[in-house]
Each structure stands twice: as C-alpha cells, then as structure tokens.
C-alpha cells in the first residue's frame, strides 16, 4: 500500500469527518474499502474519488456521527485484510481438494 495523508481543511468538521489521501492506490482498494466501511452502523457517509486519472491518488471520505474517522479507517483496513486472508485460505483449500480428487481419478 502507498503512503497515507489527511486532506487539509477537515479540522472544523470534528474527528468524525475526514478525507484521507492514499498515494499509489486506485479503484481496487477504494471500492473494496468503501464496501466494508459503508456497512458500519456508525458511518453516515463513505466514498472515494480519483481526483485525476493521471495522478495515482485516492481520496477516501468517511463521515461518522459517533466515532473518529481514523479509527473507522483502521478497522476497515483490518476487516479488509481479514477478508483477503480468508479468501486465500479458502481458495488454497479448494485447490488442494480439487488436485487430490484429480489424482484419485487418474
């Protein structure tokens, strides 16, 4: 993952509203993370933009009425990592089962 920064100018909106800037990231991370975070009940809004197609920047916005946006982002990244880990384990298990069946049938 690339570097992470906060977009300036959000301070007046409180800790629950922030726009984070991910460098060298795009729609793959943005859409997956938005899908996870937007389902949290404490999140009022979650979305992302790619400000310009020639720049490798992802602007990721979180607005919450209860929790700090940075805490929600951290939780979302951890949940996304757990989902990816689960996907890899499930895929490897199924591939091993498939290959074992293939050997038995020959």
Q: What is the DSSP letter of 81?
A: H
Domain of 56, CATH number, reads 3.30.1360.10
Q: Name which residue leads in pLDDT, 31 or 7.
A: 31
| Number of independent structural domains in the chain | 1
- The count of other CB atoms within 10 Å of the CB of residue 98 is 10
Contact 37, 76 (CB under 8 A): yes
Report the DSSP beta bridge partners of residue 21: 5, 59
Residues in the chain: 106
Q: Per mean pLDDT, which range of 6-20, 36-50, 65-79 is the poorest? A: 6-20
| Whole-number percent of the chain with pLDDT over 70 | 92
26 close to 6: Cβ distance less than 8 angstroms: no
Q: Which domain holds residue 59?
A: 4-104
What confidence score (pLDDT) does residue 105 get?
Answer: 80
53-75 pLDDT tens trace = 888 899 999 999 999 999 999 99
Token pair for 2: 């690339």
- pTM for the full predicted model: 0.83
């Amino acid at each position: 993952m690339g570097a992470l920064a906060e977009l300036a100018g959000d301070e007046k909106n409180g800790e629950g509203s922030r726009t984070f800037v991910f460098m060298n990231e795009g729609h793959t991370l943005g859409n997956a993370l938005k899908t996870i975070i937007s389902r949290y009940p404490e999140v009022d809004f979650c979305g992302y933009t790619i400000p310009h197609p020639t720049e490798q920047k992802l602007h990721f916005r979180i607005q919450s009425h209860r929790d700090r946006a940075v805490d929600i982002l951290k939780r979302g990244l951890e949940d996304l990592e757990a989902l990816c880990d689960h996907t890899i384990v499930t895929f490897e298990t199924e591939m091993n089962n498939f290959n074992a069946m293939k050997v038995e049938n020959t």
